[in-house]
């Protein structure tokens, strides 16, 4: 896929992520900080499905030792359209450990997009990520309906 097509896809996704972030803000505004993550997840799933978005909750991700599937799994909070992981938090502060959880899911599944939302602070925290073909994960910087770090996305 050439860079022009990839760029158009990423721009379209950012527009969709803007809408999803708006839904997360709606949930945060209704529920406020202090609830369990599962409450925010249930409300976000409801709103996504109300808008016709294919959203799966608590998606299991098997764990392997080399080529052997183990008897344990990870659980991704939300997967949208089969290629975007939404990791939800309800903590006071987001740390790099929270980001690494999402990044590891993206690397293990090879899903190209990830969103991180935290409902535990006074305002909704959100970050959006793109996984390049070489496995590098880049934070998407979307502002005023444009992507500010285009060159970073395609310098593999």
pLDDT in tens, 67-115: 899 999 999 999 999 999 999 999 999 999 999 999 999 999 999 999 9
| Number of residues in the chain | 156
pLDDT of residue 79: 98
pLDDT of residue 11: 84
Long-range contacts of 131-134, Cβ-Cβ distance < 8 Å, separation of 24 or more = 131/106, 131/107, 132/156
pLDDT of residue 142: 78
What's the chain's Rg over C-alpha atoms?
16
Question: To 10 degrees, what angle do helices 37-50 and 3-31 make?
Answer: 120
Secondary element (H or E) of residue 49: helix 37-50
């Amino acid at each position: 896929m050439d860079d022009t097509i990839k760029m158009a896809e990423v721009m379209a996704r950012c527009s969709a992520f803007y809408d999803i972030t708006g839904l997360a803000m709606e949930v945060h505004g209704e529920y406020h900080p202090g609830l369990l993550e599962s409450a925010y997840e249930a409300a976000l799933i409801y709103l996504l499905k109300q808008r016709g978005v294919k959203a799966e909750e608590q998606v299991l991700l098997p764990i392997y030792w080399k080529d052997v599937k183990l008897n344990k799994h990870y659980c991704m909070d939300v997967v949208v359209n089969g290629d975007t992981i939404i990791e939800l938090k309800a903590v006071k502060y987001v740390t790099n450990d929270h980001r690494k959880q999402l990044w590891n899911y993206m690397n293990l599944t090879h899903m190209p997009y990830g969103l991180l939302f935290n409902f535990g602070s006074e305002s909704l925290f959100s970050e959006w990520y793109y996984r390049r073909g070489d496995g590098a994960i880049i934070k998407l910087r979307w502002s005023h309906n444009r992507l500010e770090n285009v060159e970073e996305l395609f310098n593999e």
